[in-house]
């Protein structure tokens, strides 16, 4: 009688090897699929993150552009306001000397007699104070100090001093005073030279003395 076990054993081994191989391939395939899915997921995630970052960059660029436009608009507005203020100040300055040789400060109710050295006198009024300068003095300072717009000897920097209207002598305090009917004028001299140019400073001092003399002879209008 033949031994059937000897013939069946190789078949069983072959089947076992085949099954093992199939399982290995299946496992490999599954692992490969999982890897592909993971890599795809990573790729998609990375793409989405890059897209998100790109959008953030674009948004930031848009914000920078908006801020830049806003800054320019503000600068333009400031420039326009400064120009308007300059124009308004120029309009407020009055060519003060009348044909009769007086400076009439009608806003404060008085006039000053002036000579030839103040024939181009100008002023502007702020509240109850009037500030003086002359075209000659401003032109002199402009030519000498064109790099310093704060030293053009315009009325606002008090190159010839200022006169304030007060109700009483006590209100005027320690300023040099001129009493008129119903009020008192107080004169405040300039605190410094309005130019570094010696010729301009000489002219300033001469015209300041002339204005002070006129102040001492002030009249009510």
Any idea what the Cα angle at residue 95 is, between residues 91 and 100, rounded to 5°?
Answer: 150
**What is the distance of C-alpha 141 from the center of its chain?**
27
The sign of the CA dihedral 174, 129, 197, 150 is positive
**pLDDT per residue over 28-60, tens digit each?**
777 778 777 777 777 777 778 887 888 888 888
Taken as a whole, the chain contains a residue count of 221
Orientation angle between helical segments 135-144 and 198-216, nearest 10 degrees: 160
**Which residues pair with residue 191 across a beta bridge?**
none
pLDDT of 101: 85
Average pLDDT on 186-210 reads: 92
Give residue 180's pLDDT.
96
pLDDT at 11 over 70: no
125, containing H or E segment = strand 121-126
What is the pLDDT, as a whole number, of residue 105? 93
Q: Is the pLDDT of residue 187 over 80?
A: yes
Count the neighbouring beta carbons within 10 Å of the beta carbon of residue 33. Answer: 10
Longest dimension (CA), the chain: 161
- 199-215 average pLDDT score: 95
In the chain the first and final C-alpha atoms are separated, in Å, by: 157
Q: What is the pLDDT of residue 123?
A: 92
pLDDT higher than 80, residue 205: yes
CB 96 within 8 A of CB 103: yes
Question: What is the Cα–Cα distance from 203 to 208, expressed in whole angstroms?
Answer: 8
Give Cβ neighbours of residue 82 (< 8 Å, ≥ 6 apart).
Answer: none
Asked if residue 136 lies in contact with residue 120, where contact means CB atoms within 8 angstroms, the answer is yes
Q: How far apart are CA 142 and CA 136, in angstroms?
A: 10
φ/ψ bin of 161: left (φ > 0), alpha (ψ from -120 to 50), beta (otherwise)? left
Answer yes or no: is pLDDT of 109 > 90: yes
Q: Mean pLDDT over residues 118-137, rounded? A: 92
Task: Output the pLDDT for position 191.
Answer: 87
Q: Output the pLDDT for position 23.
A: 62
Label residue 170 by pLDDT band (50, 70, 90). very high
Give pTM, 2 decimals.
Answer: 0.56
Q: Would you place residue 98 in the very low, low, confident or very high pLDDT band (cuts 50, 70, 90)?
A: low
């Amino acid at each position: 009688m033949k031994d059937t076990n000897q013939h069946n054993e190789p078949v069983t081994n072959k089947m076992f090897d085949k099954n093992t191989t199939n399982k290995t391939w299946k496992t490999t395939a599954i692992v490969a699929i999982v890897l592909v899915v993971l890599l795809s997921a990573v790729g998609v995630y990375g793409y989405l993150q890059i897209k998100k970052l790109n959008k953030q960059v674009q948004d930031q660029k848009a914000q920078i552009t908006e801020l830049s436009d806003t800054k320019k608009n503000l600068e333009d507005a400031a420039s326009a306001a400064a120009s308007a203020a300059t124009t308004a100040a120029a309009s407020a300055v009055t060519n003060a000397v009348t044909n009769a040789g007086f400076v009439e400060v009608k806003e404060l109710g008085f006039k000053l007699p002036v000579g030839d050295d103040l024939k181009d006198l100008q002023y502007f009024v702020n509240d109850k104070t009037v500030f003086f300068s002359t075209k000659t003095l401003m032109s002199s300072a402009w030519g000498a100090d064109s790099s310093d717009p704060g030293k053009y000897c315009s009325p606002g920097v008090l190159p010839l001093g200022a006169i304030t209207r007060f109700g009483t002598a006590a209100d005027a305090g320690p300023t040099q005073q001129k009493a008129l009917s119903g009020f008192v004028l107080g004169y405040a001299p300039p605190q410094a030279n309005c130019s570094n140019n010696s010729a301009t400073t000489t002219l300033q001092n001469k015209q300041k003395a002339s204005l002070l003399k006129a102040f001492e002879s002030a009249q009510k209008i």
